[in-house]
């Protein structure tokens, strides 16, 4: 006996509602083992390989590479319980033996045991056909009502308008179409059963833009030939843009960053204070630590690791900044432990890995964890859990060669410390003008959790530890 089980895109955690298929790891007809990765997807937080909890033969895949699927949409179907060496013909054995059904491992938000009502049996003599034919009817289609608002026709004139409900599942697809005045009734979906995918709407948007650009070019009067080549036209959503402007979708990591920063600016009444600090002694201490040799010598310590250790000590003295605001309950929630995030620039965009329980670590341990997470960030292998749950963020924008900035708080945290470049500058040291290693420190904080006195005290303590590292030793 064999069963065809449907594996849906699991909930990858942390509130993620969709994922984009980056690369399929299996083909239709391949034999997969239990918990074998079958597809690589990109969420708004990380690249993730999704394992299939079933073992058997892949009978169908849903979605091409580049397609964005909502959580709960079918990924593939697997025929399980196929006897070894089965030729695909023969009578039902009638043994009544059920397939194992799965590994028993539960993905985040996804149970491996499918309800019996959703399983479909196929006889062995139909297995070959099941392997080669994608069971399109297995893809559930959620019918959405026809849009009531007036829309602008995108396809060529004379295109037929479908009657009845529009086959589209994702609310993101409907919103994208509405924002760009795309009539979903005039689109032919490329998904199962004509399901309209985001790629279909993106294609319609590009077609509309190309048509508008061609029309504007053809209608341009000879007197306008001397005008700039990039004629300004009205975009479908009313935003003025050049006719040949490049449009880049805000999705994936870039979309997640945009949403979080916009939410931070909208919800958090932030303020920023800054101070210049003499980092000469800190750099000398780092050089001495890294110059140590012998069995007791540990790994090299970075400036970021030392600053992170200073931050954890400062948060111990000023716990108001290691907090978040519960807007519904109108409460300030002070958090018991410090999970320190640090900004890391990667090819996929800005990410903020989190060092767990940073308040329990020394500088060497923090530095080693920062190095490990940075390498995972560069290769795109950070898990969603490693990118969430931070309570305070350290942003070293000095690596970009700039002195100062006003950081945007990483919502829902309450503060972020920004660090500029450390460079030689004239400085009054012990009553005399000298050339010292100077750094600018800036603190952006949520004014709801504390007043300027607390924020200033935190920043001054950090600066004191930078200027005189012995201050940190005295307070440990």
Candidate list 128, 181, 451, 464, residue with the active-site label: 451
Any alpha helices (H) in 100-197, and if so which ranges? 127-132, 171-179
Candidate list 193, 217, 244, 447, residue with the active-site label: 447
| Tokens at 45, concatenated | 């937080």
The span from the CA of 51 to the CA of 112, in Å, is 11
> How many Cβ atoms sit within 10 Å of the Cβ of residue 415?
27
First to last CA, the chain: 67
The span from the CA of 185 to the CA of 171, in Å, is 15
The span from the CA of 39 to the CA of 47, in Å, is 11
CB 208 within 8 A of CB 236: yes
Helix (H, G, I), strand (E, B) or coil at 94: coil
**Sign of the CA dihedral running 112, 113, 118, 122:** positive
The span from the CA of 212 to the CA of 243, in Å, is 8
Annotated catalytic residue 451 = yes
The span from the CA of 57 to the CA of 43, in Å, is 27
CB 344 within 8 A of CB 338: no
Torsions phi, psi of 240, nearest 5? -70, 135
The span from the CA of 201 to the CA of 206, in Å, is 9
Annotated catalytic residue 217 = no
Helix (H, G, I), strand (E, B) or coil at 396: strand
- Tell the residue number behind the tokens 């560069």, with chain if given: 378
Residue 27 vs residues 87, 131, 137, 197, 211: alpha-carbon distances, Å? 20, 11, 19, 21, 37
CB 384 within 8 A of CB 13: yes
CB 4 within 8 A of CB 31: no
Q: Mutual orientation of helices 303-317 and 452-467 as an angle, nearest 10°?
A: 140
**Strand 323-326 versus strand 232-234 pairing type:** unpaired
**Strand 18-24 versus strand 143-144 pairing type:** unpaired
- Let me know how long the chain is: 476
Active site residues: 447, 451
């Amino acid at each position: 006996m064999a069963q065809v089980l449907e594996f849906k895109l699991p909930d990858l955690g942390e509130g993620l509602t969709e994922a984009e298929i980056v690369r399929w790891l299996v083909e239709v007809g391949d034999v997969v083992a239990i918990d074998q990765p079958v597809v690589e997807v990109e969420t708004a937080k990380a690249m993730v390989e999704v394992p299939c909890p079933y073992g058997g033969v892949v009978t169908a895949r849903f979605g091409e590479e580049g397609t964005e699927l909502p959580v709960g949409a079918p990924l593939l179907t697997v025929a399980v319980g196929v006897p070894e060496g089965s030729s695909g013909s023969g009578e039902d054995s009638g043994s009544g033996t059920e397939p194992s059904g799965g590994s028993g491992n539960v993905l985040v938000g996804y149970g491996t045991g499918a309800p019996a009502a959703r399983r479909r049996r196929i006889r062995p003599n139909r297995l070959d056909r099941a392997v080669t034919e994608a069971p399109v009817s297995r893809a559930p289609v959620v019918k959405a009502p026809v849009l009531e608002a007036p829309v602008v026709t995108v396809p060529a004139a004379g295109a037929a308008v479908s009657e009845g409900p529009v086959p589209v599942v994702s609310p993101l697809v409907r919103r994208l179409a509405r924002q760009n005045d795309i009539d979903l009734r005039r689109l032919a979906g490329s998904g199962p059963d004509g399901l309209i995918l985001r790629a279909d709407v993106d294609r319609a948007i590009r077609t509309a833009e190309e048509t508008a650009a061609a029309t504007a070019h053809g209608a341009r009067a000879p007197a306008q030939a001397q005008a700039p080549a990039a004629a300004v036209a009205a975009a479908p959503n009313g935003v003025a843009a050049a006719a040949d402007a490049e449009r880049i979708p805000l999705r994936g990591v870039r979309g997640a960053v945009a949403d979080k920063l916009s939410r931070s600016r909208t919800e958090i009444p932030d303020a920023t204070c800054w101070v210049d600090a003499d980092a000469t002694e800190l750099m000398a201490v780092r050089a001495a630590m890294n110059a140590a040799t012998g069995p007791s010598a540990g790994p090299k310590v970075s400036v970021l690791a030392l600053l992170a250790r200073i931050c954890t000590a400062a948060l111990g003295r000023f716990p108001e900044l290691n907090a978040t605001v519960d807007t519904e309950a109108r409460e300030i929630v002070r958090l018991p432990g410090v999970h320190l995030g640090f900004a890391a620039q990667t090819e996929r965009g800005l990410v903020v890995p989190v060092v767990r329980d940073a308040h329990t670590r020394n500088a060497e341990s923090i530095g080693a964890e920062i190095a490990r997470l940075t390498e995972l960030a560069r290769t795109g292998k950070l898990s969603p859990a490693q990118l969430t749950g931070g309570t305070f963020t350290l942003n070293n924008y000095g690596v970009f060669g700039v002195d100062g900035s006003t950081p945007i708080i990483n919502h829902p945290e309450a503060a972020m410390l920004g660090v500029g470049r450390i460079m030689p500058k004239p400085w009054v040291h012990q009553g005399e003008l000298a050339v010292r290693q100077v750094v600018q420190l800036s603190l952006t904080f949520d004014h709801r959790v504390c007043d300027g006195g607390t924020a200033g005290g935190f920043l001054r303590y950090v600066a004191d530890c930078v200027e005189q590292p012995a201050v940190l030793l005295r307070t440990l």
